[in-house]
Chain A
Amino acid sequence: MTQASILSVQKRHGWTAPAGAVLIAILMAIGGWQLGHGLYIKAKAQLAQMLLDSAWNESLRTGTPHKAWAWADAWPVARLSVPRLEISEIVLSNASGEALAFGPGQMSATDPSGKGLRAIAGHRDTHFAFLKDLQVGDEITLTTLDGGKATYSVTGTQIVDAATTNLDPTAENSLVLVTCYPFDAVARGSLRYLVVTKQVIS
């Protein structure tokens, strides 16, 4: 390269050196933080299930609710499993934003008689990503704190708008799994994907 051409490049791109370095540094910092935080959320979701698993076993052994860590606001209330998809997850006692970060949560005001609707919500990008793979006829097993086991069969799926739709808590003997829709959306939206099931009475 000739001296002249280097000079001309320096002249044309003279501004890029300091400004570019700063811009790159900022972008890397932001990008790194975002990626890290995103991965942290996923990792937390995975790790929490392991801790919850031992808390659940402890709960089953003692028959009383047992928190996975002392400051937790939610505790394990059930184990949800789908044999076909080899899914087994611990369900937490509420579906608040905090609880859902660690596991699927049982929605409050679910009929305490156990005969009415049970609704369990989970994040579409972590614990409840498997909902999209559920098919009509799939069996879902729910083990509750008292050691009781109920089997549900998927009867259908539904996409609803959370702004205009609520669940009917009196629908009998059914379990509804709730997650956000669409599954691959990046932003939060008001659509929800529901998996509707009916208890299999054996």
Chain B
Amino acid sequence: MRSLPHRSAHHTGPRDAIVFIIALFATLFAVTGLLTVAAKADGAAARNGLVTLNDVQSGTLLLNSKEPGKYVPAPLLATDAKIEVTGPMARARVTQRFINPGEGWVEGKYVFPLPEDAAVDTMKMIIGDRVIEGKIKEKEEARRIYEKAKAEGKKAGLLEQQRPNVFTNAVANIGPHESVTIQIEYQQTVHRDGDRFSLRFPMVVAPRYVPKEAADPQVVDFVPGSGWGTTQPDEKDLPPGTAHPGNAPDLTQPPVLDPEEGKVNPVALEISLEAGFPLGPVKSSFHKVDIQRTGKEGAKLSLAEKVVPADKDFELTWEPAETAAPTAGLFRETVDGKDYVLVMLMPPSGAVQPQAKPREAIFVIDNSGSMAGASMPQAKAGLLFALDKLKPEDTFNIIRFDDTHELLFPQPVRADRENIAVARKFVNGLSADGGTEMLPALKAALNDRTPNATSHVRQVIFLTDGAISNEKALFEEIARHRGRSRLFTVGIGSAPNSYFMTRAAEAGRGSFTHIGDLAQVKSRMAELVNKLEHPLVTNVTASWPEGTHTESWPDPVPDLYKGEPVVLAARMDKAQGDLTLKGDLAGNAWQVRIPLDAGETRPGIGKLWARRKIASLEADRLMGGDYEKTDAEILKVALAHHLVSRRTSLVAVDVTPTRPDGEKLESRDMPVNLPDGWEFDKVFGESMPAPVMRKAMRAAPTTMLASAQSPVMDSAQDRGLALPQTASDAPGLIRNGLFTLLAAFLLMLLWRRVTRRG
């Protein structure tokens, strides 16, 4: 060891040990570094007490805070809801009273989610004893009117659609300790699952704690179990005996209450139910109700306790009495000299279903390169599940495609055990590679050798992520060559092209199913297969009376499947004569004649028609139509029917200015931690649990940056664009590689020293 002549073994021992430890540490660090960074990234997502519009999933009046784009929720006093259910639709009037507990003039923003097909048509603002009715205006114009009133110190309200299922209501110039009542009316369709109808009324108003896994958009719009909470000061932070702690200045990080606390916001609820068919059992899932039957098809109910705390959603379910064949329901309304009718077609329910026909199932599976990763196993699992559900009398075939395509069997074969085994092997052997050439595969799938056969129902089940560019060509192909086939699209992966697939399924008179991850494969495919196995009435056509101009939606009329109602909304000059619905019910001709002048008059049918027309126009627009023209058409329909839409908003302005000139509007931040909440027990005679601070939330770092412009965002439960993974492995690999090499180098030094000594 010439380089270190004076070093003795006695000294090198500890030094070597240090080098060795460093080397080990570096190796260890290289491995654990990954984990700590990942944990840090997660921690950064922790929310502080403020919320953004995207955090809100249920109605909350938000008050602006110091941070742009962030809001402080205001206390909510009481809610009164009246809902009328008419056949497949419900009309709700929700009255909510808020107060400004602060000393300043504030602008509040009220955010509330609604079902995607909800039509908001009325907004009233009641301030003191003034009632201000919202007027429908073109979106930009409404905003100008609102901003002008706001600047002039007038009270104003603006109701806008952010997305088809999220609305905001801005209220300007709420005075100190003033209360504001907001009344909103909307229309929605009831949810149907098989024979079970249900209606949910959102009562839960603390969306900040919504766990990710609970946000299933299809079933639960509003998460049960969390509750509304007013924020209360941490006792520790207040001088003893402070009566009015609302002046605590730090509002950018207000304390946030545990959601289990503060069962305030009492709700009163009344529902009148007119099912449109003979009613079976009517039940409230979570609340005690008084139910009073009104005839065979109706019921009236109200909460047994009159007023309940808003700590869980209200859900009402009802079922039809057994029927042997589809029954039709009819409701009508006359608006501005035009008649609107709503026709409901109910598939038979219960045990008396007609025998379903055998199927010819053509599965098309995308194994192109874009399906690589998580998507391919999902598509395979979905296909294997569907194969298992085939019955021996069914026939099937499989087509796989990337930039080439091949048919498993030259023609559809019987679904016997041998053929299924061949198919399983074929599916298991698929791997994702190559480009995406969908058109030839689609053509092959729609190529029907026996187009006039009635012994089988022909169904094409298309499993893909829809990463394609020639949507129009595909769409045309479907519309032109669909024949007797029905097209069911199954969107695979986190970000399938759902616009294309929904529209393709519509054109193919089938339905669209989305499978987001492997865990969903079974439940979603089971729902689809159940539907595929029970096509009840096919080739439905609607013949409206001659001589009257009729516009009906949806067009064409979809088939009737098990668990699905079909609802037609039509507009005509005069609702008289007969509507004839024809179809094919399990091999027999089926026909229903509905005298149009017989329907019961119900308000809101016109709105439902308009909402369906708007939805249809929006779909056309996305499929590539004349954008200017469809936009103008949407505006026209929305204005005529007083509906809030992408192009229209409701705006209400008080005539007299109320905010004194000298007072600034948003200058003072809203102390949300006022003890005013305690007045609830005086008002409603309920004892409130002592609020508990969630200190951890208060301590959370403010890492979220906010921009003034935020409406490009969408909460994940909407059908927005999912954000892709946008980091490569490179930094991790380079860093790990360097650390590992460093460790190797240090170890080598150590080793050389030791061996040279030898």
Q: Which residues of A contact B708 (CB under 8 A)?
A: 155-156
Complex: A157 Cα to B68 Cα, angstroms:
12
CB proximity of B714 to chain A, nearest CB, Å: 4
User: Can you name the residue of chain A whose Cβ is closest to the Cβ of B727?
Assistant: A180
B711 touches A161 (CB 8 A): no
A178 touches B726 (CB 8 A): yes
Complex: A151 Cα to B715 Cα, angstroms:
28
Complex: A12 Cα to B9 Cα, angstroms:
10
Q: Which residues of B contact A182 (CB under 8 A)?
A: 40-41, 44
B715 touches A38 (CB 8 A): no
Q: Which residues of A contact B742 (CB under 8 A)?
A: 31
Interface residues in B707-726 (C-beta closer than 8 Å to A)? 707-716, 718-726
Decide if A201 is an interface residue (CB 8 Å cutoff): no
Complex: A170 Cα to B41 Cα, angstroms:
29
A170 touches B471 (CB 8 A): no
What 0/1 pattern do residues 88 to 106 of A give for CB contact below 8 A with B?
Answer: 0000011111101100010
Q: Is the interface of A mostly helix, strand, loop or mixed?
A: mixed
Interface residues in B462-501 (C-beta closer than 8 Å to A)? 466-467, 469, 471, 495-500
A164 touches B715 (CB 8 A): yes
Complex: A42 Cα to B740 Cα, angstroms:
19
Partner of A158, one of B469, B498, B713, B738: B713
Q: Which residues of B contact A200 (CB under 8 A)?
A: none
Q: Which residues of B contact A41 (CB under 8 A)?
A: 728-730, 733
A161 touches B721 (CB 8 A): no
CB proximity of A115 to chain B, nearest CB, Å: 6
A169 touches B721 (CB 8 A): yes
CB proximity of A6 to chain B, nearest CB, Å: 6
A179 touches B711 (CB 8 A): no
How many residues from B make CB contacts under 8 Å with A? 96
Known contacts A20-B751, A31-B739, A191-B41: A165-B723 contact under CB 8 Å? yes
Q: Which residues of A contact B706 (CB under 8 A)?
A: 158
A158 touches B751 (CB 8 A): no
Decide if A85 is an interface residue (CB 8 Å cutoff): no
Complex: A169 Cα to B720 Cα, angstroms:
6
Interface residues in A35-82 (C-beta closer than 8 Å to B)? 35-39, 41-42, 45, 65, 71-73
CB proximity of B519 to chain A, nearest CB, Å: 15
Q: Compute the total of residue contacts between A and B using a CB distance below 8 Å.
A: 295
Complex: A163 Cα to B203 Cα, angstroms:
25
Decide if B1 is an interface residue (CB 8 Å cutoff): yes
B726 touches A192 (CB 8 A): yes
B723 touches A174 (CB 8 A): no
B726 touches A113 (CB 8 A): no
B728 touches A123 (CB 8 A): yes
Q: Which residues of A contact B714 (CB under 8 A)?
A: 165-168
CB proximity of B291 to chain A, nearest CB, Å: 38
Q: Which residues of B contact A83 (CB under 8 A)?
A: none
A185 touches B40 (CB 8 A): yes
Q: Which residues of A contact B733 (CB under 8 A)?
A: 34-35, 37-38, 41
Decide if B368 is an interface residue (CB 8 Å cutoff): yes
Q: Which residues of B contact A16 (CB under 8 A)?
A: 750-751, 754
Complex: A110 Cα to B499 Cα, angstroms:
10
Interface residues in A171-202 (C-beta closer than 8 Å to B)? 171, 174, 176, 178-182, 184-192, 194, 196, 198
A167 touches B369 (CB 8 A): no
Partner of B722, one of A100, A101, A162, A176: A162
Supply 16 A–B pairs (Cβ within 8 Å), ascending by A.
Answer: A17-B751, A32-B741, A34-B733, A34-B734, A35-B733, A108-B721, A109-B498, A159-B44, A163-B716, A168-B714, A176-B712, A181-B44, A189-B727, A190-B41, A191-B41, A196-B710
Given A109-B498, A121-B726, output 20 extra A-B contacts at Cβ < 8 Å: A9-B9, A17-B751, A17-B754, A24-B744, A24-B747, A36-B737, A39-B734, A72-B435, A73-B370, A96-B370, A115-B627, A125-B731, A126-B728, A156-B710, A158-B710, A166-B723, A168-B713, A171-B711, A186-B731, A187-B35
Interface residues of chain A, those whose CB is within 8 Å of chain B, are: 1, 5-6, 8-10, 12-13, 16-17, 20-21, 23-24, 27-28, 30-39, 41-42, 45, 65, 71-73, 93-98, 100-101, 105, 107-113, 115, 117, 119, 121-126, 128, 155-171, 174, 176, 178-182, 184-192, 194, 196, 198
Ranked 4 nearest A-B pairs via Cβ: A156-B707, A166-B720, A35-B737, A31-B740
